[in-house]
Amino acid sequence: MPPMISGSLWMTLVAFTVLSSNRKSAPRMIAPVRRSDQRF
């Protein structure tokens, strides 16, 4: 995990990676990311 990338940006990158990998399990990963994104 490069320090240059911020937390929320890194999580978004991971979410897109999961989207391209498994579209069925994507909603499970995006839901928690959006919840933590609301803090910022």
Diameter of the chain by CA atoms?
A: 30
Whole-model pTM: value is: 0.36
End-to-end CA distance of the chain: 20
pLDDT in tens, 1-40: 556 667 778 788 888 887 777 666 555 655 666 665 555 4
> Domain coordinates of the chain in residue numbers?
7-37
Residue whose token pair is 């240059």: 4
| pLDDT value for 6 | 74
